[in-house]
Structure formats: C-alpha cells, structure tokens
Structure 1
C-alpha cells in the first residue's frame, strides 16, 4: 500500500503541475497570440488524435493489462510474446488509420471545408499527431505493466504541455512562422515517445519476443473475445471527450472560432474532475475487493463517501471558478463572452456526475456489468444525436446543452439501475446541506461589487467563497474524510 500511496501522490502532483502549464497555454498564450481559428485548430487536432489513436490500438492495451500477469508468470520476460503482439496490433491499426485518412480526405474536406477551412489546409498533420499519440498510449501501457507509473504520468502530463509552451514562445518571438508552428505541433508528442521508449526498453521488464508462444495458441480465442468487447467499451469512454469539438468544427458556422471559445469552459470543467481521476484507482480496487467478499455494506459506504467527497470538492472548485467567469471574459476579451454560460451549463452537469460517486465502478464490477456497457452505449448515441441537432440549430450553445443533457441522463440511468438491481443510492441528508452551503457561498461571492483590478477582484471572490464554504463543511462535520484530514493538518501545524 505504501507504493500505491506514493505513486498516486506523485501522479497527482504531476497532474496538477501539468494542468497549471496547460492553463497558461489555454487561458493566456493561445487566446492572446493566436487567432480563434488557429487556437481552435490546435484543439481539433488533439481531439482527432485522441479518438483515432484509440482506434489504432485495436483494443490491444486491454488485452495487455488483463493477460500479461499470466504470460509473465508462465513464460517469463524473454518468451512473453504478448508485448510484441500488442505492438503489431497497434502498427496494423496505425497503417489502417493512415490509409483511411488518405482515402477519406475528400469526404472530410466536404464536411469541414465550409466551416473550418483552416483544418482542411492542415489536415495531413493529423496523421503524425495521431500516430505519435498511439505510440504514447502503447508505451504508457508498457510502463504500467512494469510498474513505472510515475515516469509515465510525468511524461504524459508534462512533456506535451511544456513542448507546446516552447513552440508558442518561438512563434510569439517570431522565430518560427505559423505554418512551421503547426508542423512542429503535429510532432509535439515525439519527445515523450523517445523518453518513454528509453524507459521501457532499457528497463529489462519488457521483452520483444516474436515467436508465438503456447500460451497464445491456447488463449487466443479468449483474448480476442475479451479485447473485442472491451475495445468497444474503451471507445465509449473516449468518444464523449472528443465528439463535441469534432462536431462543433464540422457543423457550426465559424467552426474553429467557436471551438476556441468552447475550449475555455471545457478546460475549467476538466479541472473540477481532477480529484475524481486521482480517486479512481484506489476506490476501484476497494470496490472490487468488496464485491469479491460480497461486502455490500462496504460498497454502500464507498458509494456514499465518494459521492459526498467528490460533490464537496466539485462544488468548492465550481464556487471559486464560476463567480470569476466575468473576470475570465474580461481577461480574454468580449469575443469569449459565451464561455461564462457554457461553463455554467457544463459545470452543473459535471457536479451531477461527481455527486453520483463511483456508480460506474460499482455497476461494472458487479454481476450486472453488462448494464454498464449498455448505459454507456446509450449515452454515446444520445450524446451524438443531441449534439448533431442542437449544434445545427443553436450553434455553440447547442453543444453545451447537448453534452450536459446526455451526461445527466447517463448518470440518472446508472443511478436507476443501481437502485433497481442492488437497492443502492448515493445520497444522504448531508448532500442537501452541502449544496445549500455552496449556494449561499456562491451568492455571497457574486454580491461583491466589481473591482477594476482583475487579480484583486478574483482573489476576493474566491476568498469569500472559501471562508464561507470550507468552515461550514468542517463545523458541521459533513465529510468524515475531509474533517479528519483537516484535523491532521491542524495538528501538524500546531506541532511546528
């Protein structure tokens, strides 16, 4: 457990450092030194790369995680052919992606050419971007199975953002042109690929054995079945993170410019879910163990605690960010005015998601795991349909409403199934108190008269919210975990 806590702590630190660098890029450098179309293009390239790199792995990573312990146990490192087979699958997927991207270039030109012509001009740059990100996914998978998660998180969270900052600086100081910037931006994952490849293949924990083993001959049908099913699940997890940007660029007028506006609130909402991502690993393990022991009481306890803790943290971040959205617009300029309304809609949907706790993990690890897949599939269909029609009718706001409605509906479905099948629900009386305290603190933060200095205004609004919300949570002992952490921290400070 000491190793788990240590690696989780370091990973969280690197994630927050990465987000801080990303905030400088997204909230300052891109909006002030690039046109909206150029800014939007950087996001669209990332969305395409994330989605198509997931396709390019052909689900091989799921098989690697699931079956590698068996292969290593029975074959050792030198005769383990699973890493080689995973590499070959990703290579085949990358070749198919390159071929498909060239074959369908004309189709994409018709779909994006009118609303996002800059994307078509730089379309082929998506190819190196996607292939290099596929390499990142593959090498990160290798790092995980040899327990080098700290270095993989460090490289993944920091290298791309730092490389982006360097390229932006070179463009700002006129060392490179805008075309050179995009050419180099499409290669910005290469430094991370080189470092991860060095870590993986000089460690000795991964061997590239091309000879098909008896384990593969015996298990290949089971592996293919497992990979096929979980490949679909992986795509379901990735598509919602990328579909908004792709549809905004393709369907809305001034697609890339609209996407640039959408990036801002979307990034801020992503900040709200960082604690959820850091909590995911340990809670998933605990839930799996509880199901193994048929400990329903433990599962319900985890359900309530994760729901409440994530809601408190989410409301805390929302309460700091939303009263300052006018300051964000003042900083970025009136062209980004819609960011405030989009953040409100997306932020509320994310709070619903956080407040539902670890419903996905509880459902997917139970004997009713198929319902997790079915609800995810319905979520994707609803999300795409709503986005398609609402973006065509309402433009940028349509994307915000479509994604929010789909996310809330998705969580309500899971909550319904957990109650119907397992008689579990995530809420307690303290849930309502938490929402009440946050609402009072947010209203108080909004009531502060506008101050000309952005930093002073933003700092005071955030301080007002924290001074009202945090003491209320601790005084009324809303969360046992947060109160215990506060008392431990206070005790350490007093000893010093």
Structure 2
C-alpha cells in the first residue's frame, strides 16, 4: 500500500486545493454575481460535456487499463500500439458525437426549450466543451497507466477551477460580457490539456506507435469484446454525476434555476468523493497488475484497505459538512433551503459507495468482467427510470431520491457478485466501529445551540465533530494507514523542536 498511500496523499492535497478554489466559485461567486439560470447553465454545459465525452471514448479507456500491462510486458514502450488505438477510437467517437449533436439539435430544442431556454441559446458550446473533456479523459488515462496520477489529478482538478475563477473575475469586472464568458467557459479545459500532453509525451512513459503489433493481431477480438461489454461500464462513473442535472433542466419547471439549487449539495457530495478520485488512478493500475500476476492476496488487501480508508475519510467530511448545512443556507439565502435535505440523501448514498471500496475496478478487471457490463446496464436503466418519474413528480427531491436509490442498488449488486464469484467482501468489524464513532460525533455537533455569528457557529460544530471522531479513529487504530500518517506527522513535528 506504500505507493497507494504516497500518490493518494499528494493527489488528495492538491485536489482539495482545487476544490477550495471551486468552493469559492460554487458557493460564493456564481450564486452572488450570476442569475440562477446562468449559474444553472454552467452546470448543465458541464454535465452534457462529461456525459458525451464518456460516449466519445467508445469504452477504449477500459481496454487501455485492462490490456496495457500485457502490452508493456511483451512489447515495451516503443512498439506498444495500444495508446494509439485508444486515441483513434476516441477520435472516431468524437466525430460521431459532433455529427449526432448537430442532427439532434432540434430534438433537444424541443425538450429543453420550454424549461431551460437559455441552454438552447448556447447549445452549440457543448461541442467544444465535450471535445476538450474527451481529450482530458484520454490524457488522464495515459497518466494512470504510467503511474503519474498526481500530475493528472493536480492539472485536471486545479487548472479548470483556476481558469473558471479568472473568467468569473473578468465578467464581474465587466471586462467580458456574459455571452463571451460562456464561450470561453466552453474552452476552460484547454490549458489543462496543453500541460498534460506536454508532461506525458516528454516523460518517455508512452510512445505513439502507429504500426499494428502482433499482440493486437492476436488479441484484437478479445479486446473488442471486452471494450464492447465495458462501454456501459465506462458510463457508470459518469451517469450519476450528470443525469440528475440534465433531467432537472429538461423536466422541472424553471429548470436551470432549480438546477442552480441542486448544484450546491451536489458539489458538497463531490467534495466527499475526492479521496476516491485521488485513489482511483493508482489502485486501478495496481489491481490490473495483480490480476495479471494472479495475486489474489494483493487484491483482497487493496479491497479491504480502500474500503475502510474511504469510509473513514468520507464520514469525516460528511460529519463536518452536514451539521453546517443550515449555515450554508443562511449564507446563500432561503432560495437554497432544499440544499440540506438533498445533501443528506445524496451524502448517505455516497457513503455507501465509498464504503464499498474499489468493487467496480476489481470486478471489471477480473475474468468475470461481463458481470460488470450486466450490473452497469441494470444501473443505467434503473437510474434513468427512477430519475425520470421522480423528478416529474417531486422535482429536486425526486432527483435526490432517484440518484441515491440507484447508486445504493448498484453497489449492492457489485458487492453480491464479488462475494458470490470471488468470495471477497470489503467489510470488517472496524467498519461498524467507524460508523458508530461518526454517528456519536455528528449528534454531538448538532447538540450545539445555534450561534448568531455564522462563521463562529460553523467552526465550533466542525471542531466538536473532529475532536470526537478523529481521536477515536487513531486511539483504536481503526486504520493502519491513517495511524501511520498521524505518527509521521508527530515525528516531523518533534524533529523540528
């Protein structure tokens, strides 16, 4: 777990710096200097870009993660044509996306024109946004396979938010118009693309070999079958983050204005999953290598430790955020009153997801990868159907319930198949202890009477939770990794005295 611990730590720190900048954008600048419709449009553009970019890769990233260890072992870097084939698949997918987006422009105008007319005015900006995000996904995949996850996380998470902050500032100070803001916002990933491309192709870890190798000639049927089955699996990490916003904008009255409200709790839930995103790149590579080497013990170790560590950090963040949701509403105004309830529902679902560890990666990279396709397909159908009917009937709360039910159901399916097929499960007695400590600490934070000063109230509640939860985790040595971090920090402090 040494490499996982090291790369996750660096990714974690830099990603949260990016999220701190994003918090300024999301919780202050956008709500206070943009209309709710304009704020909602920024999210809808991003949702469409993220969703369609996953389609544009044609599932090639899963093939890259699965088969690259074999290619590198037998071909080396210079003759490895898998990165080139992945690029060509994404290029083809991007062309198909551009054609499809133009063909279905009229259809989307009818579906979104009544509830979200501002989106229709800026619809074509989704095209450059999607193409640039597709490039980011490909470059991030290359970083993962050469184990430069720190670089990809820092650049992807940090530079987009910095670029957004700059664009917001230009608009606030009336240097650019709102239309120019949206045009430039659609290109906000371009700086990150340039930096990632430079880092990857100057590192020497990847070569672009255009000559079809003997490995591809021998394995192409297996690769195509794998990628075809995993096409929906690629969407599994994308769909829960995008479908809610798209359906809210299309189905609810005042779609973009409602979406602006939904952005707040959704962003805070995203903060909870940063450790998972930081850990995902390096653990995916290590799991692929472990399956190649038939190292079941290594996989089980990764499964248990990622599950426990993600749950501890997720509960820690949930325990700080949820007792402060009333303060968030006080800061943003009564229009955002539903944010607290939505965060509770979505946050619990995310905790279930975090507590399941790397179940999706273990299943998808094993010989039982077809079950990844089946569960992904079921999840997609359940998620869309639930969201469609619940949003039409209950609006924003329907979106929260639909997404939460689908995400929990999906994780239970994956957990069931991992136990049935591989006799692996992520939980231990320490899982129960972690949840118990978190509940006690959260109740203690809520017991504090409401203080008049918003900032003081928030700091006090956060401190009460942290003072109870973190010492309990360390004292009972719930996580060896977290205890090791704590001792490392103490040693560094003592050495400086």
**TM norm structure 2:** 0.90
Q: 1:279 to 1:190 in 2, by over 3 A?
A: closer
SS in 1 for 2:187: coil
**2:327 is aligned with 1:327:** yes
**Which residue does 2:19 correspond to in 1?**
19
Q: 1:177 to 1:251 in 2, by over 3 A?
A: same
345-354 or 360-369, larger mean C-alpha shift: 360-369
CA distance in 2, matches of 1:92, 1:19: 33
CA distance in 1, matches of 2:40, 2:245: 9
Say if 2:7 and 2:150, in contact at 8 Å, map to a contact too.
yes
CA distance in 2, matches of 1:439, 1:132: 42
**Which residue does 1:121 correspond to in 2?**
121
Say if 2:49 and 2:126, in contact at 8 Å, map to a contact too.
yes
Q: 1:77 to 1:284 in 2, by over 3 A?
A: closer
CA distance in 2, matches of 1:472, 1:4: 24
**Which residue does 1:358 correspond to in 2?**
358
SS in 2 for 1:357: coil
Q: Residue by residue, what CA displacement relative to the aligned partner does 1:123-160 show, whole Å, maximum 9, x if unpaired? A: 01111111121222233334445555443333212111
**Which residue does 1:436 correspond to in 2?**
436
Q: 1:80-91 maps to which residues of 2 (within 5 A)?
A: 81-91=81-91
Q: Residue by residue, what CA displacement relative to the aligned partner does 1:308-340 show, whole Å, maximum 9, x if unpaired? A: 332222221111111100110111111111100
CA distance in 2, matches of 1:87, 1:417: 32
CA distance in 2, matches of 1:355, 1:68: 28
Q: Residue by residue, what CA displacement relative to the aligned partner does 1:357-403 show, whole Å, maximum 9, x if unpaired? A: 33334444554443333222212111111101000000010000001
CA distance in 2, matches of 1:477, 1:392: 47
Q: 1:417-428 maps to which residues of 2 (within 5 A)?
A: 417-428=417-428
- Measured after TM superposition, the shift of residue 246 of structure 1 is 0.8
**Which residue does 1:196 correspond to in 2?**
196
CA distance in 2, matches of 1:204, 1:56: 26
Say if 2:324 and 2:458, in contact at 8 Å, map to a contact too.
yes
CA distance in 1, matches of 2:76, 2:302: 37
Say if 2:80 and 2:207, in contact at 8 Å, map to a contact too.
yes
Calculate the aligned-residue CA RMSD, in Å: 2.8
Q: Residue by residue, what CA displacement relative to the aligned partner does 1:15-55 show, whole Å, maximum 9, x if unpaired? A: 11111111111111111111111111111111111111122
Q: 1:302-313 maps to which residues of 2 (within 5 A)?
A: 302-313=302-313
22-31 or 207-216, larger mean C-alpha shift: 207-216
**2:455 is aligned with 1:466:** no
Q: 1:150 to 1:335 in 2, by over 3 A?
A: same
**Which residue does 1:245 correspond to in 2?**
245
Q: 1:66-145 maps to which residues of 2 (within 5 A)?
A: 66-68=66-68, 81-145=81-145
Q: 1:269 to 1:2 in 2, by over 3 A?
A: closer
- Measured after TM superposition, the shift of residue 282 of structure 1 is 5.1
297-306 or 408-417, larger mean C-alpha shift: 297-306
Say if 2:94 and 2:131, in contact at 8 Å, map to a contact too.
yes
Say if 2:116 and 2:249, in contact at 8 Å, map to a contact too.
yes
